[in-house]
Amino acid sequence: MRTWKVTRRTEPLGWGSFLLFIMAFGISLAISGFLLFLQGKPGLGGILLLLEGGFGHGYSLEDTFLKAIPIFLCAAGVAVCFRMQVWNIGVEGQYVMGAAGATWVVLTFPDAPMWAMLPAMGIGAMVAGGLWASLPALLRLYAHMNEIISSLMLNYIALVILQRLVYGPWKDPDGAGFPHTMVFPDPAVIGTFLGRIHYGLLACLVCGLGLVFFLKRTRLGFEVTVGGENATAARYAGMPYARLVLFVFVVCGALAGLAGGIETSAVLHRLSMNISVGYGYTAIVVAWLARLRVGRIALFAFLLAGLRVGVENLQLELGVPAAFAGMMEGCILLTVLAAQFFDNYALRRVQAQPAAAGQKGAGA
Amino acid sequence: MTFALFLKVLFSAIEQGTPLLYATLGAIITERSGVLNLGVEGMMIVAAFAGFFGLHLTGNPWLGLLAAGIAAAFMGSLHGVVCLVFQGNQVVSGLALTILGLGLADFLGAPYIGTVTKGFNPIALPWLSSLPVLGPVLFTHDVLVYISFLLAPAAWFVLTRTRWGLALCATGENPQAVAAAGLSPLAWRWVGIVVGGFLIGCGGGYLSLASSHEWTHSISAGRGWIAIALVIFSFWRPGRAVLGAYLFCGVSAFQLRLQSAGVLQIPTWLLDMFPYLLTLLVLLLSSARGKGRAAPKALGVNLEPGA
């Protein structure tokens, strides 16, 4: 009698890993199509419409690129934290605070020339995001507070602060009472170079390459990875574990803040509640799908940005709510998490032990 | 503060604390078996929709509640499949569940926003509600509140005084020992996920069946995360979950009363932050380490397959 047995893989799966992702992704699309079908909408047609809307035209590819930029920066930050098993899920709040930081620079120095304005906005965004991210880190280090919940609560709090700013002191005096700041002057707007794609893409490139160099070639980057794999070992090796936790939080906050600053400047041209559309949560999905590798994050940021654009298309064509994108992201992450099992384990047919065979037989 | 005000605050604390209490008790049961569940928020909102939808279809709030419990238990089972069968990371799987649930509930619920239903209504219990002072405060609620009065002691009794509860808790502390004793840690983790999920679902269902009789967007409003914070506050014990849930909502209600009485002049934006600041405070209060306060030792650690 032969049965299945789970064994640990000794060699990495390689391309099979990619195949698994395609399968998991396909299952998620099938589930999503089925849900559309349940609501009396075309299932397969809806999914095709979604993919076409995200990747099918030059115009939609531009949109996808635009959304991929903030998602990439946030996900890169998330990956640094997750590598150290520091569960920072407050990226959305750090992104919002970054947007607020950049806006503060614009509103305080509205007449600055572009060469001073844009770098100052970038710094303002990174400092604001980094400081906001340091809060859950300090709470964890000095008050032993669980960073998952504290960073998430700070997301809600950041949104209230944003609301307070755009409804109160930062409201455009000429805006007919609408809750947003004045339109940024030209020197505070990041330009475009290809269609609507803006130079924020360069920031992604610089940050991405910088991060790869940092993680692969520097001592600190090595410590971050080791610190995540084994905190106890890291402490024995004399690594400053507490400082590393603070460091990864601040790096993530700065990257997310930069994403927020770039988004306000290049896409919205002003600060409003529209800045927060959940990129910070998508970034968590992207970082994990990419298995925390910077190069793959670029790929998956593009893919999930395309899904978001595709869902906007579905919204227009079939009246599907925007929440559909979140549902798909959760579904993809769950199926991929399950599929990753086969990266580490293999199922093999083996000759069962007589005793075990008896048990299996009784069970079946 | 007058005594009458205290009674009013206590009444609101019980009323608003009940969904949190169900969810916290459910999360305690799941986590006691060693499964970290960050999907509570997603499970609650899906349960709230299922409860609303069940009631909308059948007109029977009890069937709505059943639908809510089953929906959340099903969501929990997805977490179980990913973590218990496929060895996925429990933190990430829980987050995925929350992202999925928030999207799913808003997607399915979009056509029904603003739909009014008849859910559970307050029933004054005969005799008990006419007890002096505390009678009206404790016994003029809806029936789910009364069930929660019995549920917390029941959860305490089952977890600490029965073989089943001990097996479940031992799985969260030392799964190898449970296996050595001839029990299946895997099976007990499934029990934790499904039973805990059902209770989390009752908490979610309460929101759409009793708290409000209308389906609205984002109905859970972070309560799942507050429940997770309360699990830590309660040191994974049902008794302290009661204290935590009522205290949390009592402080909120007290602050609202002061505000509406004009005693305090807090700007509205600060009020909007209040539940989240209070959650941080709750975590701060419970973060001091001590005996009997630690999380289950095997919490978040997967069982090795094929062992």
- Tell me which chain A residues have a C-beta less than 8 angstroms from the C-beta of B269: 160-161, 163-164, 168
CATH assignment of the domain containing B146: 1.10.3470
Residue A357 pLDDT class (50, 70, 90 cuts) = very low
Stretch B155-167: mean pLDDT: 93
Cβ pair A143:B284 closer than 8 A: yes
Domain with CATH 1.10.3470 in chain A: 68-319
The reply to whether B131 falls in a domain is yes
- DSSP assignment of A107-138, as one string? HHSTT--HHHHHHHHHHHHHHHHHHHHHHHHH
* pLDDT of amino acid A173: 86
Instruction: For residue A194, report the phi and psi dihedrals to the nearest 5 degrees.
Output: -140, 105
For the stretch A306-353, pLDDT in tens is 999 999 999 988 888 889 999 999 999 999 999 888 888 887 777 766
In whole angstroms, what separates CA B117 from the centre of its chain?
23
Residue B105 pLDDT class (50, 70, 90 cuts) = very high
In whole angstroms, what separates CA A164 from the centre of its chain?
25
- CA Rg value for chain B: 19
Residue whose C-alpha is closest to residue A326's, from B45, B273, B52, B272: B45
Shortest Cα distance from B190 to chain A (angstroms)?
17
**10 Å Cβ neighbour count for B136?**
15
Q: Is A153 on the interface with B (CB under 8 A)?
A: yes
Q: Which residues of A246-269 are buried (b: 16+ CB within 10 A; e: fewer)?
A: bbbbbbbbbbbbbbbbbbbbbbbb
Domain count, chain B: 1
The reply to whether B302 falls in a domain is no
The reply to whether B228 falls in a domain is yes
For the stretch B204-257, pLDDT in tens is 999 999 988 888 888 888 899 999 999 999 999 999 999 999 999 998 888 888
* pLDDT of amino acid A20: 87
Q: Is A362 on the interface with B (CB under 8 A)?
A: no
* pLDDT of amino acid B220: 87
For the stretch A62-88, pLDDT in tens is 999 999 999 999 999 999 999 988 999
- In this structure, what token pair is assigned to residue A146? 């669980």
The reply to whether B300 falls in a domain is no
The reply to whether B97 falls in a domain is yes
Least confident of B26-30, B54-58, B106-110, B265-269: B265-269
The reply to whether B304 falls in a domain is no
Give the DSSP letter of residue A276.
-
Residue B290 pLDDT class (50, 70, 90 cuts) = low
The reply to whether B258 falls in a domain is yes
What is the average pLDDT score of chain A?
89
Q: Is A304 on the interface with B (CB under 8 A)?
A: no
Given a contact cutoff of 8 angstroms between Cβ atoms, the answer to whether A73 and A94 are in contact is no
User: Looking at chain A from residue 55 to 94, which residues have their Cβ under 8 Å from any Cβ of chain B?
Assistant: 87, 89
Q: Is A339 on the interface with B (CB under 8 A)?
A: yes
Residues 6+ away with beta carbon under 8 Å from A55? A61, A64, A306, A310
The boundaries of the domain holding residue B159 are: 3-293
Q: Which CATH architecture has domain A68-319?
A: Orthogonal Bundle (1.10)
**Element of type H or E holding A282:** helix A279-289
